[in-house]
């Protein structure tokens, strides 16, 4: 049986600007073809066995022609695969979606067109430019700025275009911007008509350049403005002065590396993106269950003897209770113990299970836990610490000094995931990272190992933010300078630290 093809409009660059239908197609596809204009972050929604094929231009790699792409889609469908072909913006707006669909139609392959948000309207919107506006512009016109040079007779008639009073939006026009403006002027438009050129709109790299028909071409040259960019001609451009909003977000333009585990990254990434920045997830740590159960099982079987159970991470909570259930027990077994959590996220993990947490220290680190309970711990109290295999010793030592008997049990392990050192170095060298965040000492150490000692100087110019003093100290010991240390040792604290650094502090 033949497969099915979805030609999906993936939006203008910001990965959240895709439709629900488009996302559905990505989730169910066996094969996904994508190129530079479609944000590769969408790929994280792909099924785990989906085949991902990059068909865009890349240095040192084969560049697919349009014909090859169409054939590849066809062949995959003939193999019975569900194919999602992601296209920037809308597939039918200068997207050659029609050509891809024609080949499918000729061959009797089922296909669906998923419309997308075209850059023609969304890029102006993200710059505070409404393409129509009462009393200012009653129409908008989307025009190619890149006429096929092999064409004999030109399909665009600038005499007609120049008569239009509405907003003119040129795609693919940066190379020809001089000619475009000259033709509009020579056919009667005012040389003073406002023009904006917007590059990489809707993304963290969005830049706008404003001018008029007579001077914008020079300004584009002077500023070395490159593709992808749209040209927008019309009085609506002036509205950007009052309506711009995206570039006013506090972390606008900031690219922030997130080194936490893939599962945990999203909380930090969401906050960064909410504030207008871009989160680049590069997990340097992976957390897996500790499969040596002896110690844990012994502790769980005697759980009633512990007067204190101290959790130092949400992962500790997760893996401890998983094993508890596997052994046929549940939260009721803990009735005898006082529960402590290192901070609010860990406490929430416990509360989500219906448990009450007895102690959460004011400062979210190991030493502070001991302070918060030291008056209550009695000689001989048994304490259970379900933690990571690499957890620091200090908590155990301080509790023992109080006379407690501590069982420090690794319930999960941390690993360095399969990583791509070259990719990290490329991001750094191409200035794709403004801030590196570290949320634990292990993220620092693993980052150091991923990057390699010999490359550590590459990050000298990048701002480094640590979740707390211990993490900061680990970084400094490895020769990494630290610019930001969060005052509250959790994710909101880290984000606040970054905002404060850029003088953009607000409560998050």
Q: With respect to ligand SAH, which residue has the nearer C-beta, 119 or 441?
A: 119
- For the segment 155-194, give every residue that binds ligand SAH (CB under 6 A): 171-172
Tell me: does residue 124 bind ligand SAH (CB under 6 A): no
The single residue of 57, 165, 221, 292 carrying the catalytic annotation is 57
* Strand 435-438 with 167-171, pairing: unpaired
Residue 500 CB burial class (10 angstroms; 0-12, 13-18, ≥19): middle
Strands 207-212 and 194-199: antiparallel
Binder among 228, 234, 276, 472 for ligand SAH (CB under 6 A): 228
94 binds ligand SAH (CB under 6 A): yes
Please report whether residue 223 would count as binding ligand SAH according to CB under 6 A.
Answer: no
The residue range among 105-113, 127-135, 198-206, 278-286 that interacts with ligand SAH, by the rule CB under 6 A, is: 198-206
Query: Cα(205)–Cα(252) distance, rounded to whole angstroms?
Result: 9
201 binds ligand SAH, rule: CB under 6 A: yes
Annotated catalytic residue within 28, 41, 71, 172:
172
- Check residue 37 for interaction with ligand SAH (CB under 6 A): yes
* Contact (Cβ atoms closer than 8 angstroms) between residue 340 and residue 372: yes
CB of 77 to ligand SAH, least distance (A): 22
Q: What is the DSSP string of 437-485?
A: EE-SHHHHHHHHHHH-GGGGGGGTTSEEEESSHHHHHHHHHTT----EE
Stretch that binds ligand SAH, among 93-101, 153-161, 433-441, 495-503 (CB under 6 A): 93-101
Report, in Å, the least distance between residue 234 CB and ligand SAH: 16
Per CB under 6 A, does 446 bind ligand SAH? no
Piece in contact with ligand SAH (CB under 6 A), picked from 88-96, 99-107, 233-241, 489-497: 88-96
Nearest residue to ligand SAH, by Cβ distance, number only: 89
Closer to ligand SAH by CB, 183 or 200: give it: 200
One of 18, 196, 229, 280 touching ligand SAH (CB under 6 A) = 229
**Can you tell me which of 3, 8, 10, 12 binds ligand SAH, judged by CB under 6 A?**
12
* Helical residues (DSSP H) of 255-343, grouped into ranges: 262-274, 294-301, 314-326
Among 198, 232, 240, 484, binds ligand SAH (CB under 6 A): 198
Q: Tell me the CA distances in angstroms from 426 to 264, 421, 430, 431, 455, one per residue in order.
A: 24, 9, 6, 9, 12
> Which residue bears the tokens 């003088």?
503
Contact 174, 220 (CB under 8 A): yes
Residue 172 known to be catalytic: yes
Phi/psi of residue 70, nearest 5 degrees: -60, -40
Residue whose CB is less far from ligand SAH, 17 or 411: 17
Enclosing H/E stretch for 53 = strand 51-54
Rounded to whole angstroms, the Cα distance separating 444 from 439 reads 8
Count CA within 13 A, CB hemisphere, residue 91.
Answer: 25
- The least CB distance from residue 195 to ligand SAH, in Å, is 14
In the shown chain, the binding pattern of residues 42 to 81 toward ligand SAH, with x for contact by CB under 6 A and - for none, equals ----------------------------------------
Q: Does 95 bind ligand SAH (CB under 6 A)?
A: yes
93 touches ligand SAH by CB under 6 A: yes
Q: Is 22 in the site for ligand SAH (CB under 6 A)?
A: no
291 part of the active site = no
- Is residue 333 part of the contact set for ligand SAH (CB under 6 A)? no
Q: How far is residue 497's CA from residue 466's CA, in Å, rounded to a whole number? A: 9
* Cα–Cα dist 27/50, whole Å: 9
Q: Which region among 86-94, 313-321, 392-400, 470-478 touches ligand SAH (by CB under 6 A)?
A: 86-94
| Angle at 343 (CA atoms; ends 354, 346), nearest 5 degrees | 40
Terminal CA-CA length for the chain: 52
What DSSP line would sit under 156-207, residue for residue? --HHHHTT--SEEEEES-STTHHHHHHHHHHTT--TT-EEEEEESTTSTT-E
Q: Is 68 helix (H, G, I), strand (E, B) or coil?
A: helix
Nearer to ligand SAH, 81 or 87 (CB): 87
Residue 123 touches ligand SAH, criterion: CB under 6 A: yes
Closest CA to 315 of 337, 286, 291, 339: 286
Binder of ligand SAH out of 183, 200, 254, 365 (CB under 6 A): 200
Positions in the binding site for ligand SAH (CB under 6 A): 12-13, 37, 87-90, 93-95, 118-120, 123, 171-172, 198-202, 227-230
The residues annotated with a catalytic role in the active site are 35, 57, 172
């Amino acid at each position: 049986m033949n497969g099915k093809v979805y030609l999906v409009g993936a939006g203008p660059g910001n990965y959240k600007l895709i439709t629900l239908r488009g996302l559905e197609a990505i989730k169910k596809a066996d094969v996904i073809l994508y190129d530079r204009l479609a944000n590769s972050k969408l790929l994280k929604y792909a099924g785990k066995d989906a085949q991902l094929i990059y068909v865009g231009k890349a240095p040192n790699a084969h560049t697919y022609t349009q014909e090859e792409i169409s054939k590849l889609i066809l062949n995959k469908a003939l193999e019975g695969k569900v194919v999602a072909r992601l296209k920037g913006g809308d597939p039918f707006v200068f997207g050659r979606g029609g050509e891809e669909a024609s080949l499918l139609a000729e061959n009797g392959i089922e296909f669906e067109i998923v419309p997308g948000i075209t850059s023609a309207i969304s890029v102006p919107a993200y710059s505070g430019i409404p393409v129509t506006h009462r009393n200012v512009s009653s129409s908008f016109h989307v025009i190619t700025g890149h006429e096929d040079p092999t064409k004999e007779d030109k399909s665009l008639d600038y005499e007609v275009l120049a008569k239009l009073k509405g907003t003119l939006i040129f795609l693919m026009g940066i190379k020809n911007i001089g000619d475009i403006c000259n033709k509009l002027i020579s056919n009667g438009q005012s040389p003073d008509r406002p023009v904006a050129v917007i590059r990489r709109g809707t993304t963290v790299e969005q830049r706008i350049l404003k001018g008029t028909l007579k001077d914008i071409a020079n300004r584009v040259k002077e500023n070395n403005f490159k593709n992808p960019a749209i040209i927008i001609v019309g009085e609506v451009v002036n509205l950007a002065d009052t309506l711009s909003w995206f570039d006013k977000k506090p972390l606008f333009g900031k690219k922030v590396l997130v080194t936490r585990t893939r599962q945990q990254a999203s909380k930090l990434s969401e906050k960064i993106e909410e504030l207008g920045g871009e989160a680049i997830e590069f997990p340097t740590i992976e957390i897996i269950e500790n499969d040596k159960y002896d110690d844990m099982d012994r502790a769980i079987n005697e759980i009633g003897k512990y007067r204190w159970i101290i959790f130092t991470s949400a992962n500790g909570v997760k893996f401890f209770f998983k094993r508890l259930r596997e052994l046929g027990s549940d939260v009721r077994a803990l009735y005898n113990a006082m529960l402590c959590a290192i901070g609010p996220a860990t406490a929430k993990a416990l509360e989500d299970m219906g448990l009450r947490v007895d102690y959460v220290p004011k400062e979210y680190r190991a030493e502070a836990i001991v302070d918060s309970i030291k008056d209550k711990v009695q000689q001989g109290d048994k304490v259970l610490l379900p933690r990571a295999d690499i957890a620091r010793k200090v908590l155990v030592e301080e509790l023992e000094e109080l006379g407690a008997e501590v069982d420090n049990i690794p319930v999960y392990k941390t690993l360095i995931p399969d990583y791509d050192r070259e990719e990290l170095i490329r991001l750094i060298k191409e200035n794709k990272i403004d801030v590196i965040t570290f949320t634990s000492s292990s993220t620092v150490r693993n980052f150091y190992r991923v990057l390699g000692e010999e490359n550590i100087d590459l990050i000298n110019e990048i701002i480094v933010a640590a979740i707390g003093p211990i993490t900061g100290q680990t970084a400094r010991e490895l020769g990494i300078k630290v610019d930001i240390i969060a005052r509250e040792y959790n994710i909101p604290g880290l984000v606040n630290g970054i905002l404060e650094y850029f003088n953009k502090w607000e409560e998050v």
